[in-house]
Chain A
Amino acid sequence: MEILHSLLDGFGVALQPINLAWCFVGVFLGTVIGVLPGLGPPATIAMLLPLTFHMNPAGAMIMLAGIYYGAKYGGSTTSILLNVPGESASVVTCLDGYQMARKGRAGPALGIAAIASFIAGTFGVVGLMLVAPPLAKMSLAFSSPEYFALMVLGLAMVVLLSGSSLVKALLAMLVGLWIATMGTDLFSATSRFTFGRMELLGGVDFVVVAIGVFAIAEVMSNMEPREGGTMLPVPRGLRNLLPTWQDMKDCRFAFVNGSVLGFLIGVLPGAGSTIASFLSYGVEKAVSRHPERFGNGAIEGVAAPEGANNSETGGALVPLLTLGIPGSGTTAILLAALILWGFKPGPMLIEDSPQLFWGLVASMYIGNVMLLVLNLPLVPAFAQLLKLPPYAMYPLILGVSIVGVYSDSSSVFALVLLAVFGLLGYLMRKLDYPAAPLVLGLVLGKPMELALRQSLMMSQGDLGILTARPISATILAFAAIMLLLPLFRRVNRWRVQAVEQEA
């Protein structure tokens, strides 16, 4: 009851015209930034910080938060239409989203992304509102052994993403792990695999690899035929521009999966939206009756990860607003912004500044609605992008990729790396090595190694710590089940076949 009361107060703050305006500015900017690859919320929020000092703090926070979750809506656009991941969490959307676009279903893909984002985003806000303090406390029980188990679960997804050859998928994943290792080792300050180049001291940026392996490689592939490849079919008619009711029914579980998984992973400081989207994609594929559709344009393969990366923002705000602990790059800046405005983020923030917290929560409901209204009509507009002839489309993709990477890193070395990974991606395509495991290895490699070494340091070398603790043991058990599930299915099919033969 008290929560409802506070929420109504919050709406009182959020519905003030000036705050509504800031909310709109934030979500609009966020969508634009999400669509443009490379430019991400952290950099934009940081750029806008000085301007916020002239605004009222609640309005400023509403706007910055709007940028944060708005970007997650926009990130799917280039992933689906151009196979260029708009930001790291959108890589998974490329897998099925782009395939849907190739089959003329770009409209439904974009639409379901927006709808899933709305449902999951709202779920995230509800979660933030209802369970933030107790959930934050529970999340403190999560530490390195549990993170390691989570990463193992993530890597178990490789088995599900392997396509035709498990050996090649595993090799791709190992290469991803190798790239993840490049840079300065956190624990000992040794540089590993940096080839003497200072630019590699910070490791290889995920965005560079993802855009190279997906987008650049795609362009190169399409250069092969003399006529320049086929254009993506443009969806015609309103029916083909938005998801059908059947599509929505198919995605029932994906909506739940994305919302819940994304939110829970968002609450854990350090685990990010990329992991959330991979895991929810993997879970979706694991429970599907027709897993072979994934990777070829399964609409649930778009709905689940897109939902996950949106509810993750709600989750990431939980440790920020209840414990003062930032879980990711963007929340770290939001923390800095809160401090600069004179707030004291920590366990007492909700008590001390209820207007800020509840105003923010209320504005997030409003923001998600605004984003749905903004994004759905944009679907036909974006789909028209596919009308571009190939000779204009490919320079566009290359230009967006190059500028996107440069805006992120301001270094020509990063662009050279982009080209190198483009070549790698092309070679992988020609040789039938799946790209998704490489990306998975890259994303999970560093956190997994960190978590393992931290765990072993905590237990003074005893590997048993991973199974002794209940949470990590449970997650590892899940991973084992995921790995064995396809085996069960195959055994089951044999069994059914054997029974049928006998009959």
Chain B
Amino acid sequence: MHRLLARSIAACALAAAACAHAFEPTKPIELVVHTAPGGGNDVLARAIAVIAEKEKLLPVRMQVINKPGGNGAVAAAFLAERKGDAHTIGLVTTNWIVGPLVTREAKVTLSDLTLIAQLVTEPALVAVRADSPYHNMKEFIDAAKAKPGALKQSGGTPTARDSIMRQVLQQHTGARWSFISFPGGGERIAALLGGHVDMMIIEPEEAGENIRAGKMRVIAQVADKRLAAFPDVPTLREAGYPVALVPQMRGMVAPPGIPADVVAYWEDFCRRLVRTASWRKYLQDNQFEDAFYTGPELARSLDATTQQLRAILPEAGLKLVR
């Protein structure tokens, strides 16, 4: 009897102690992104900061810190340095997985950091100019097979999703077309609109307006199911190309060495964030897909993506260094 009482008192005390030490941020939160102001993750980070303020998700301010360079390597290293800091978090994309695989100097991998949650995945569209002769994916692939290397795609770095999708499609169909890297999204679109390249794989919100104005046409979707905004365009699988879709995800991480209650706090923050109406509207406006994972599910999903990338990247001509 006494032992049971003692144990329950101990349990209560422990619970009380845990509650008393539950983490609450006390100084401004720094949200680290790996792009310069205006780049992809920077925009999302600022939107998150705005939503957090509007929906009162945090007792303190959130500010965005830009650490561009090395495809995420600089930002990753910065987070690793902030070991144990509960007031710093980072916004990551799939690039943070790819970088360490192919760049020797990118020493910090996602497994060195504390995973919090995955927030969204970004679908993509296969787009051509409005007056292009290709009305569906099959026509494009057939034309590419007929003249190997003659057709051109504009895109980002060879580690970016559009390049990886090209590799995957080329492997699957046996067709070959060139890939021309442009450092900025604006230049890629300009190259397509100007007729200098034939096709590009682009995120819906980047292309949205040009599609609406009738300057670009979408011939396929890189997604598991059709996006609401494009009900008539088949997905790659529906078009007859059941290739692996390497996800372009965006998620949140924290520096290493963070205590469990802080991790729980941030997971909870993400959970509350994705439930707000502002977030849902943002997702809709930007055509992100809600893909909220956390905990062990997240680790599994990231592992699967890493293995996928390990298989695909060497075919893209990149050397694995890790």
Contacts and interface: CB of A to CB of B under 8 A. Distances in A.
Contacts of A327: 186
B138 to A, nearest CB: 24
B253 interface: no
Contact of B37 (A45, A139, A324): A45
A269 B186 contact: yes
A84 interface: no
B198 to A, nearest CB: 11
Contact of A143 (B46, B102, B157, B190): B190
B56 interface: no
Contact of B184 (A142, A187, A198, A326): A326
A454 to B, nearest CB: 5
A324 B210 contact: yes
Range of interface residues on B (Cβ < 8 Å): 35 or more
B50 A202 contact: no
A347 B216 CA distance: 11
B231 interface: no
Given A194-B105, A326-B184, A332 B318 contact: no
B196 interface: yes
Nearest to B108: A198
Nearest to A194: B105
B195 to A, nearest CB: 8
B298 interface: no
B210 A323 contact: yes
Interface in B12-53: 36-39, 42-43, 46-47, 49-50, 53
B193 A458 contact: no
A435 B16 CA distance: 67
A347 B184 contact: no
B210 A188 contact: no
B240 interface: no
Interface stretch (B68-76, B115-123, B218-226, B242-250): B68-76
Contacts of B179: 457
A336 interface: yes
Nearest to A347: B213
A49 B66 CA distance: 14
Contacts of B49: 50
Interface of B: 36-39, 42-43, 46-47, 49-50, 53, 64, 66-71, 73-74, 77, 102-107, 149-150, 152, 157-159, 178-187, 189-191, 193-197, 205, 208-210, 212-213, 215, 285-286, 317-318
Given A324-B209, A336-B46, A345-B209, 15 more contacts: A53-B50, A143-B196, A186-B183, A189-B71, A189-B103, A196-B104, A197-B105, A201-B74, A326-B186, A332-B36, A332-B39, A347-B215, A348-B209, A457-B179, A458-B197
Interface of A: 42-43, 45-46, 49-50, 53, 139-144, 184, 186-189, 191, 194, 196-199, 201-202, 269-270, 319, 323-327, 329-336, 339-340, 344-349, 410, 450, 454, 457-458, 460
15 contacts: A42-B37, A46-B42, A140-B195, A142-B190, A186-B183, A187-B157, A187-B158, A189-B71, A189-B158, A198-B107, A199-B74, A269-B184, A270-B183, A333-B38, A457-B179
